[in-house]
Chain A
Amino acid sequence: MSLSDTAPASPVAGKPAATNPFYWTLRREFWEHRALYMAPLVVAALILFGFIVSLIGLYGRARELAALSPDEQAAAIIQPYHFATAAIILTTLIVSVFYCLGALYNERRDRTILFWKSLPVSDLTTVLAKASIPIVLLPLTNFMIIVVMHLLMLLINSAGRAAVGLSTAPLWTHVSLFPMEVVVLYGFVTQALWYAPIFAWLLLISAWAKRSPFLWAVLAPMALGVVERIAFDTNYFGALLAHRLFGGLDAAFAGSQTSPVVSHGMVKVGTKFPMIGLEQLDPAKFLSSPGLWFGLVIAALFLAGAIWLRRYREPI
């Protein structure tokens, strides 16, 4: 039983109860879409489980590791931590995309919009609350999940090493949590801003489509690119789209020659994870990139469109 059930329910006579439509709209989104927090938590739990299982052969591997060069040792130790980060980020993205596509579409399909609209919550509040989930809330909560996960991994790893009589020193020298988490946080913030127009586009389609929002959201931009290609034999729109989809890391991080962060705009996901150090954070470059601001303007326009649609179109 929650506190609110036992607290005196009636406000003092004459005084209106304190209400907060924005907060409660967020609450109900998390009630309805439990995947928003369950998916990253489940992925985190699976990774931790896999990590614990991987400790079984720890002793043997530690001896193999000792034969490697210091750089390779460091890479091997840090790899699971980066893998965990990447898995949560990927989960965040997938969850966000599907959340956005359904956010303003499902309520029309199941007619609950008539209930939501019977309450004094403006369409502006509703759409902004929904938009803030992929752009603000999920990046922050999932960042915290990653931090907790890294801490747990470090503890488990240390305990495992200590149990088989290995030194924990290599862990603490190679896994430097603080800079790692600063990079992750910076990554989350910059990528959320960079991808804001994508999320806003998905919300707009979600508010507009009578059916199949996913198909509209994906096929409409593709069709535009194809038409441009055929009509003018140019690829401006396609390039713009590719820049938006794959250029986020390029815009936020300075590339370095020794460890290429990005190749063709995408993080190399493979056996060797790219090492991103603090020195590669480049907020000045990010904040001065026209792509960021152009994207934010587009995002604002798309969101305005979504608000307008929810406000002024027949609800069903």
Chain B
Amino acid sequence: MTCIQAHGLRKTFGTTVALDGIDLRVEEGRILGLIGPNGAGKSTALNAILGLTPFQGELKVLDRNPWSERDVLMRDVCFIADVAVLPRWMRVSQALDYVGGVHPKFDRAKAEAFLAKTSIKRVSRIRELSKGMVVQLHLALVMAIDAKLLILDEPTLGLDLLYRKQFYDALLNDYFDHSRTVVVTTHQVEEVQNILTDLMFIDRGKIVLDCSMEDFEARYAEVLVGPEQVAAARALRPIYERQVFSRTVMLFDRVARDQLRAFGEVRTPSIADLFVALIGTKTATAQGVAA
């Protein structure tokens, strides 16, 4: 089943184009990473999917129009919009009571079990919790909801490494079960590389890359090339080069790995490197021109 389907999805704010007619298809049971620079349109896309903003073009989430059928849709969709949206005055026990009282698919025992693994006290007010604990609490609430689609918009922003790691571990081990779909945006791409099933780059309202992680691993290869072989390697048209000490790291798109092995060890690039290759150079140029 297709979870999210968009065709010509477009959104403008005045003269600023936030989404420039994107096409999108996310199947059920995928974990999609939506990666893009600040202001690329990620949050706008998520807001459109969540029915928080009107849009032009076609968009179906779980076969519903998120803008006009939002109230029904929210029974099957959860989202963590930001680290700081839980009400600071609320007690942990009240948050459990409240979500249990309004959400028909909330399993309180599950949330309690998850919280038992943390040091969060039931009587604490949210304002008394550390940023990391607030995210743990939010995750506990969301994971206890039997939703079909989970949207995470920068869920680990401002958290330390341990909390970030725990967050994704919990998500993968305790929540994800191949009938659920997760869409996540983040700048900390290294941490999600191993959990994603699909990858999408978005830049200035357009989709720059849309591929599964299998495709990503098959398509892109990175080779560390010594100075004497640079010219030969360049003949294979790397999409990006960077210098590491005296050697050159070249990133290739759709070049047979057998061919590349002649120059050195071939490995799968990190999402971050591909991101810089596909978007960083253009953005840097654009910023240079603007400045």
Q: Is there contact, CB below 8 Å, between A119 and B99? A: yes
Q: Is there contact, CB below 8 Å, between A120 and B104? A: yes
How many angstroms between the C-alpha atoms of A223 and B82 in the bound complex? 39
How many angstroms between the C-alpha atoms of A119 and B138 in the bound complex? 12
The interface residues of chain A lying within 8 Å CB-to-CB of B81 are 111, 114-115, 118
Q: Mark B62-105, 1 if CB is under 8 A from A, else 0.
A: 00000000110011001111101111111101100111111111
How many angstroms between the C-alpha atoms of A155 and B107 in the bound complex? 49
Known contacts A4-B97, A315-B52; A24 and B89 CB within 8 A of each other: no
A selection of 21 A-B contacts at a CB cut-off of 8 Å is A5-B93, A16-B104, A19-B101, A19-B102, A19-B104, A21-B101, A24-B101, A24-B102, A27-B97, A28-B94, A28-B98, A32-B90, A110-B88, A111-B81, A112-B86, A115-B85, A115-B86, A117-B52, A119-B103, A123-B71, A312-B54
The interface residues of chain A lying within 8 Å CB-to-CB of B104 are 16-17, 19, 120
Q: Is there contact, CB below 8 Å, between A122 and B71? A: yes
Q: Which residue of the partner chain A has the closest CB to B94?
A: A31
Q: Is there contact, CB below 8 Å, between A17 and B52? A: no
The interface residues of chain A lying within 8 Å CB-to-CB of B106 are 17
B12 → chain A closest CB, angstroms? 13
Q: Mark A38-66, 1 if CB is under 8 A from B, else 0.
A: 00000000000000000000000000000
A312 → chain B closest CB, angstroms? 7
The interface residues of chain A lying within 8 Å CB-to-CB of B89 are 31-32
The interface residues of chain A lying within 8 Å CB-to-CB of B80 are 118
B: residues with CB less than 8 A from A are 47, 50, 52-54, 70-71, 74-75, 78-82, 84-91, 93-94, 97-109, 112, 122
Residue tally, chain A, CB below 8 Å to B? 34
Q: Is there contact, CB below 8 Å, between A9 and B98? A: no
How many angstroms between the C-alpha atoms of A32 and B84 in the bound complex? 17
A257 interface residue (CB < 8 Å to B): no
Known contacts A28-B98, A120-B74, A314-B53; A2 and B93 CB within 8 A of each other: yes
A: residues with CB less than 8 A from B are 2, 4-5, 9-10, 16-17, 19-21, 23-25, 27-28, 31-32, 110-115, 117-123, 311-312, 314-315
Q: Which residue of the partner chain A has the closest CB to B144?
A: A9
**Neighbour of B109 across the interface among A2, A9, A113, CB < 8 A:** A9
Q: Which residue of the partner chain B has the closest CB to A112?
A: B87
Q: Is there contact, CB below 8 Å, between B82 and A27? A: no
The interface residues of chain A lying within 8 Å CB-to-CB of B101 are 19-21, 23-24, 27
